[in-house]
Chains A and B, each alone.
Chain A
Amino acid sequence: MTAPLTRAVHGRAVAGVCAGLAGHLSLPVTWVRVGLVVLSLMGGAGLVFYAWLWIFLPSEHEDAVVTAERVRGAAVPLPPSEPGGPSSPGLTGEVSVGAEDALRRRALWNGWQVIVGVVVLAIAVVLGLQTAGIPVSWGIVGPGGVVLLGMAVAWLQLDSLRGASRRGRVVSVLQVVLGLLLVLGGVLALASGFVGMEELWLGLFVAVAVLVGLLLVAAPWALKAWRDHMAERTALAAQTERAEMAAHLHDSVLQSLALIQKNAEDPARVARYARAQERELRQYLYQDPSRPTGTLGDRLEELAETLEERHGHSIEVVTVGTAQGAWLDPLLQAAQEAMRNGVRHAGPVRVYAEAGPDGAEVFVRDRGTGFDLDAVPADRLGVRESIIGRMQRSGGTAQLRTGPDGTEVRLHQPRPAQQSHPTEQDRT
C-alpha cells in the first residue's frame, strides 16, 4: 500500500515535501531531492513545483495534532487504583503533544539551515556567473531573491502556528511579518528599477487603497468562515467525547445491567453488582485527574470498595479534610479491620474520617446488635490485636463502644511532628 501524499514531519528538511513525495512514490529521498534541484536549475521549474506542493499538501500530522489537543483538554478519568498511573490516556496525550512540539521545532530549525544554505549558494552562483563573464543584473536578481526568501520565511511558519504555545505563536507571527516585509521590500526594489520614485509612491498609495477596500469587503466573510470552522471543530470534539462515553457505558454499565437481570432472583447479589457499578461509574464521571490520589479519603474508599465486594453490605465513607503519607498506614489497617467486622457481623457500615492539623480520626459505625468484647474467645485476634493493639503500637488510640443499637469504633492517630503541612492546615 502506498502512503498517502502528505508533507512528512519525520525526516523533513524544509517543509517535508521531498520526504513526503519519496514516501508516496516509494523512492529514496535523495533521488527526489536531487531531481528537484536539477529541475530548479532548469528555469526554476523545480522551485515552482516545490512551492505548489508546499501549499496544497496537508502536513502529515494535522489530524493527529487536533485529537491530541482534545485529549489534553478533556478530563480523562484516571483509574485511581493504579498508583501514579503513568500509563493513563491523559498523560500519554500530554507526552505525544510534547514530542510533536519538539519535532516541529527541530524541523523548523532544519528549514532555517537549508534557507541559509540556499541563500549562500545562490550568491556564490551569481558571483561565479559574473566572474565567468556572463552579465547578471543585480537589480533583478537581488530583489527577486529577497522576495523568494521572504516567502520561504513566512511559509515555514505554516506548520508551527497550530498547537504551539503562546510564546511560540508570538515568535511565529513575528517571523511571518518579517517574511511579509522582505517580500514587500523586494517587490518595491524590483519596481524601483523600472519606474521613477514619484510614480512608485503614487502606485503604492493606490495599492494600499485597493487593499483596504478588499479587506473591508472580505473581512466579514473571512470571519464567518473562521467561526464556522471553529464550530465544526468543537462539534467534532464533542462527538468524539460522546463516542468515548458511549463506549465506556457499553463496556461497564450495560454489562452490569445484563448481569443484574440474570441474577434478578438473588437480591443480595443484585445489590452488590449495582453498588460496584455505581462506584465505578461515579469514579469515571467525577474523578478529577488533577487531584492527587492516595489521600485518607481515597484510601478509605478503596478499602470500602473491596470489602463491599467481598461481603455484600454497603460501606458509606464521608471524609473531611485531607491527609496523606505513610503515617496513616496503621490507622487505615485498623479501620479496615473495623469495617470488615462491621460488614461481616452487623450489616451496612458508615465511616467518618476527619483529618486535621494534629492528626486523623476515623469512626466506623454499624447498626448491628453489638457484642461483648469479653465474650470474644481469646484466640480471635480481630478486635484486640488488629485494632486496639495496632493503634497503641503506632502511638494512636482506639476506643470501642458497643450496645444494642450498634457498635462504633473510634480510631485516632496523631500526625508526626515533621509531617504537618501548613498548606493543608489552611485548607481544613
Chain B
Amino acid sequence: MDRFLFLTVDGLARGAVLAAFALSLVIIWRAARIVNFAQGAMAVATTYIAFTVTSATGSYWLGLASAVAAGLVLGTLVERTVMRFVGNTSPLNSVIAGLGLLLVLQAVLGMIFGNGYRAMEIPFSSSPISIGGISAVSPYDLFIFVCIAVIVAGLGLLFTKTPLGLRLRAAAFAPDLAQLLGVRTSRMLTLGWALSSAVGALAALLIIPTELGLNPHALDTVFVYAFTVAVVGGLDSAGGAVAGGLAVGVVLSWVSGYLGATLAPIAVLVLLLAVLLLRPAGLFAMTKERTV
C-alpha cells in the first residue's frame, strides 16, 4: 500500500509538470488552431535565458521573471515574423513551419550553449516531506502545483471574465465575424502566441530541473508526452490538460513501478487509444464537435 501511495504521488507530481506544458499547447490551439511543434524548443530557449540570468544575478526569481518575459517576446516574434505569413492553404503548413523553427532553434542553441547538460537550481527542496511515516509530496512539487493552479485560474479568469478574453475567443472561433464586430483579430492572434509561449516558458522552467537538466533537446520527450496529454484532455480545454496530465503521469508511474519502465510508452498509447475510442476529441471535448 505504501508503494501504491508513493507511486501515485510521484505520478501526480510528474503529471503536473506535463500538464503545465500541455497548457501552453492548449492556449495556442485555442488561439490559432495550430499545434505548435516548435513549442518545446522555444521554451528551452527561454530557459537558457533564465539560466543565464540566474547565474549572473544569483536569484532564481529574477531568472523566472526573465523567462516569462522572454516567452512573451519570443512568442510575439515567432508569430510576427513567421507564423503570420504561413499560407492557410493547408493546416499542415503551420505544422511544417513549426518543425522548421524547431530545427533552427535547437541548432542555434547548440551553437551558442553547446550540447552539454547543465544542472538547474530549484528554489525549494525536492525531498518529499514525510507525514506519518509515508513520504508524500516535496516542497518543490507543491510549488509546481501552486504555479499550475495559478495559471489555470488566471487563464480561466482571462478567457471568461474579461473583455480581452472574450475578444481572444471570438478571434479564434469566428475570425471573420469578430473582425466585422471590430475585434482586431491579428492583434489577438499575436497575443495568443505571446501568452502560450510565456506559459510554455514557465512550464519549462518548472520541468527541466526534474528532468536530466538543461540541453537544447531537454524537452523533446516532454513535448511528445505533453502533446499526448493535451489530446487525452481535449485540446480545447485547460482543465482537460490538467486532468490529462495527471492521468498520464499516474499511468506512467504505475506501469514503471509495477510492470517495468519499458512498457510505459505502450501504456500511454493504450490509454490514449482507450480515451479516444470513447471520446474522439478528448475527455473534456466541447459538446459540439468542430471540424478542423
A binds B: no
A positions within 8 Å CB-CB of B: none
B positions within 8 Å CB-CB of A: none
